[in-house]
Structure 1
Amino acid sequence: MAFAAINSAGAPIAEIEEAFATEPSLKQRVYDAIGSTPYHEPLFKDLARYTSSLLARAATTTSLPFVPPPSNGPAAKKRKIENGQPQVTVQSSADLKYPNAPVQFYVQDVSFAIPQRKKLMLEITASGGLRARNQATKEIEFGVSMDRIRHALCLPVPEKTQKQFNFCIIPEYADGITPPPEGVNGSDCMVFTVADGPAKAAFTGLGQQIGHNEGETAEGLIRKLLNDTMPNTNVVRPDERQFVSAMPEAHRKGEKAYHVKAFRGSKEGYLFFLSTGILFAFKKPLLFFSFDTIESVSYTSVLQRTFNLNFLARPRNGSEEDQMEIEFQMIDQADFSGIDTYIKRHGLQDASLAEARRAKVYNVNSGKNQDGAAEAGGEEEESELQKAQRELEDEEDEDEEDYDPGTDGDSEGSGSDDDEDDSDDDDEDEEDAEEEEDAADQDGDGDEDLINQKLGNEV
């Protein structure tokens, strides 16, 4: 009975803890049996050692990825096949090769959205691994080593009546921008949801429940454990100093929203503007634009109510040929100012007025003052003007508006009067004859002056 009291106080047995680390209910039954019949303790220890040896032997002899056993349920979707071999996208890590690595922390009934949509057990191992275990078959579905995680985000779930948080785990080559090198298996992102409340189903590797009694939320507990385990990054949360939407959360009045709704083609999602980059979530595939992959940002289709946001992204260590342009549409104009401030704060190049985005200039109104067309074809227009000027100089222009007396001599001016219409000359001759008759009585020299004066006036 004294031994039962010790076990009820929580004194662990190493052999049983190691053998039944992933079976808390079975482990508790073993402890209860030892408490009621203490003389069976050596037997349970031997059984625990034998179980551990079987598990270790199965882990070391297994060289192929885990294939779930057939079930009576609907068939799962198959992965694409390349070169006749199934494409394995599950992260290869020591924790997957040795599925019975010691568990440091686990949470039951966690809702996963990516890469699978189901409830699984979330585990953090002592060797630095994050994995999801099937609660029914006890098999590991997927996982990733902590040293391969490049970005970890904790974001409030939009448009939910009850406040929830989505953890987005983005391993290397899983941001949707930088593809894995040739010969390297790609990795899937992990997205799982936790409620805003105490961690009621969180346990240590020894089976002790944590979080519930202390009042610590599941979100805060998981974030703390990830920060303590990930060597290359920390969990990033939205910051009001970075970006906050002009429109508050519609489903939770009085709460600020840190997202904007956008469309990528026909797919609806949310854009989050964070301190380390811009995320488009929460549907597969996720896109995370870290600052070192963004070449430029531009605004297009700016209307009265909405606008589009374009990203020109380039993979890490990629060339200009690898650049890709991704457009997000139908963003509310109310968030334009906040997004523009965020882009300027982080020094992202605004390519809205780039040459490639200017409207094309067609040579339809080339006669008008179009700077772009005039500069492009300046030499051709100049030659045409010179040709027209030469033609005008060779031909006689009957329109007096085109006549420039400053460029012609006096003799040329007289010659032009001689070539005028004959009817005009006849009328002038009759008037001159009448004037000569009226001045017949005057002196001959005066007559000559009068005629010269008259002719000069006509000229």
Structure 2
Amino acid sequence: MAFAAINNSSRSSSTIPIVNQQPPVAVNYAVIDNAFAADSSLRKRVYDAITASPQHGALFHDIAQYTSRLLQQSQPLQQRQLAKAISDEPAIKKRKLEGNNGIGGLAPSATSVHDLKADSPLQFYVQDISFAVPQRKKLTLEMTAAGGYLRARNQTSKEIEFGIPVKDIQHVLCLPVPEKAQRQTNFCIIPRYGDGVTPVPDGASIPDQMVFTIADGPAKAAFTGAGQRVESDENGEALLRGWLNNAIGHTKVIRPDDREFVSATPEAHRKGEKAYHVKAHRGSKDGYLFFLSTGILFGFKKPLVFFSFENIESVSYTSVLQRTFNLNITTRVDEEQEPQEFEFSMIDQADYAGIDAYIKNHQLQDASLAEARRAKKYNVNGGKAAGADGEQNGEGATATEGEEEETELQKAQRELEDQEDEEEEDYDPGSEGDSDGSGSSSEEEDEDEDGGGDDDEEDEEDEDGDIDLVKQELGSEAEDVDED
């Protein structure tokens, strides 16, 4: 027994160094997803085994790769069968079969389920990311190898929820989250044709916008593509911003800039900190306007609307009141498209000066006094009064140069004064100016006396009229009656 105990102890002690010499290897879950996509229960068992025995992750990874190669050999036959099934289906069902089961609304030609789960190494991934758009949940953010995808993976089922091809990412914005006690940053990923302004080409489908939040402080769950945890005191927002700039390449992450716009009202929840947003409403939806170096964003509720400078035709102010005003942005993407107008209301007057300076600095046309807008909003060019003024000036109904330079408030005040002057010119005091007395009794007596005289004259006319009628009817017989 003693010998057996010594033997067992030596065996157990000899196995410990072997385990320590084989640290857990980072597993590319995309390979396992592809290999066991047809059997979800088996895939779950594989994930459970990797979680229980991380040192066996490399073994399961190799098994998944071998299984994927076997599946690829039989894939041509399956593709022919799928193509025949799609051709036999109606148009509506075709879109469902060719699509990606609703993952991000991605175009079938560019991003199918297989594409999002492509067997490619990861550049980096960050766990426990709070997403707000298109889904509100915590997911793992992944960036695949160059030319791949920015995608979100479910942390429990390990399934890919949604994603955007890197080549289709048009704008990446890094903006502070307003009205939060703790500093947070929202990353907004806007795909091509997904800005809410540019019309989508016929028959095309686009990825969903992505909005996720990074808390202030060091990155606690950031990993490199090899699965190594990032041990750094660098702010998580700065780390992710650098990763995205390097991975995307054709566009850069845009942040607010003091030289572009700063709100007149500082952050209420973080005293002394600058605010780069203004509160606004679009219809019944409330949100925030950010004035950036590449355009204007309205967020953060779905869908985001981003107005890049090349799409803005004009900007105007309406409903200018003592405390608030409305901002109207008119867009035109191309000459064939009809202009679109987006109205944002209930903006604080304190931010008017900053917004106006931003519009002038970027040479965005101010259409507040445009002829069409004045006629539409205030009707100053319509009606008889405008026509009469135009005829007197010899210019029809068009406005003079002086009128164009007037502000809306000055124009409205001038028209009110003109109307009062016309009323004073038309006023005629009549006999009231010659009368020394006042009061209603004397006026009524005069009216009664005048009215009585008119009645007497009418009676005399009636009597004369009766005599004439008798003579006309009786003729000579009436003369005999008079003589008698």
TM range (shorter): 0.5 to 0.7
Residue 97 of structure 1 corresponds to which residue in structure 2?
114
Question: Aligned to 1:120, which of 112, 119, 139?
Answer: 139
Structure 1: how far apart are the matches of 2:70 and 2:288? 46
Normalised by the length of structure 1, the TM-score is: 0.67
Shift in Å at residue 235 of structure 1? 0.5
| Counterparts in 2 of 1:190 and 1:372: CA distance versus 1, 3 Å | farther
Structure 1: how far apart are the matches of 2:267 and 2:159? 39
Structure 2: how far apart are the matches of 1:286 and 1:82? 30
The superposition leaves residues 89-128 of structure 1 with CA deviations (integer Å, 9 ceiling, x where unpaired) of: 5234468424143222111121111111111111111243
Shift in Å at residue 342 of structure 1? 0.5
Residue 357 of structure 1 corresponds to which residue in structure 2?
373
**Secondary structure in structure 2 of the residue aligned to 1:375:** coil
**Secondary structure in structure 2 of the residue aligned to 1:226:** helix
Residue 306 of structure 1 corresponds to which residue in structure 2?
324
The superposition leaves residues 186-229 of structure 1 with CA deviations (integer Å, 9 ceiling, x where unpaired) of: 2211001110111111122332211xx31122211111110001
Structure 2: how far apart are the matches of 1:20 and 1:186? 24
Shift in Å at residue 374 of structure 1? 5.7
Q: Which amino acid aligns with 1:165?
A: T
Structure 2: how far apart are the matches of 1:123 and 1:201? 12
Residue 300 of structure 2 corresponds to which residue in structure 1?
282
**Secondary structure in structure 2 of the residue aligned to 1:136:** coil
Structure 2 contact 169–189 (Cα < 8 Å) conserved:
yes
Structure 1 contact 18–102 (Cα < 8 Å) conserved:
no
Residue 207 of structure 2 corresponds to which residue in structure 1?
187
Residue 130 of structure 1 corresponds to which residue in structure 2?
150
**Secondary structure in structure 2 of the residue aligned to 1:147:** helix
Structure 1 contact 15–49 (Cα < 8 Å) conserved:
no
Residue 53 of structure 1 corresponds to which residue in structure 2?
66
Q: Percent identity?
A: 52
Residue 163 of structure 2 corresponds to which residue in structure 1?
143
Structure 1: how far apart are the matches of 2:208 and 2:297? 15
Structure 2 contact 33–159 (Cα < 8 Å) conserved:
no
Count, aligned residues: 346
Where in structure 2 are the equivalents of 1:6-85 lying within 5 Å? 6-8=21-23, 12=25, 27=50, 29-32=52-55, 47-55=60-68, 61=75, 83=92, 85=95
Residue 325 of structure 1 corresponds to which residue in structure 2?
341
**Secondary structure in structure 2 of the residue aligned to 1:322:** coil
Residue 75 of structure 1 corresponds to which residue in structure 2?
none
Structure 1 contact 366–373 (Cα < 8 Å) conserved:
no
Where in structure 2 are the equivalents of 1:222-371 lying within 5 Å? 222-315=240-333, 318-319=334-335, 321-358=337-374, 359-360=378-379, 361-365=381-385, 369=389
Structure 2: how far apart are the matches of 1:118 and 1:169? 17
| More displaced stretch, 125-134 vs 356-365 | 356-365
Structure 1 contact 95–101 (Cα < 8 Å) conserved:
no
Q: Which 5+ residue runs of structure 2 have no aligned equivalent?
A: 1-15, 35-42, 81-89, 399-484
Structure 2 contact 390–397 (Cα < 8 Å) conserved:
no
Shift in Å at residue 180 of structure 1? 2.0
Question: Aligned to 1:170, which of 186, 190, 198?
Answer: 190
Structure 1 contact 173–187 (Cα < 8 Å) conserved:
no
Normalised by the length of structure 2, the TM-score is: 0.64
Shift in Å at residue 306 of structure 1? 0.5
Q: Which amino acid aligns with 1:90?
A: G
| Counterparts in 2 of 1:96 and 1:234: CA distance versus 1, 3 Å | farther
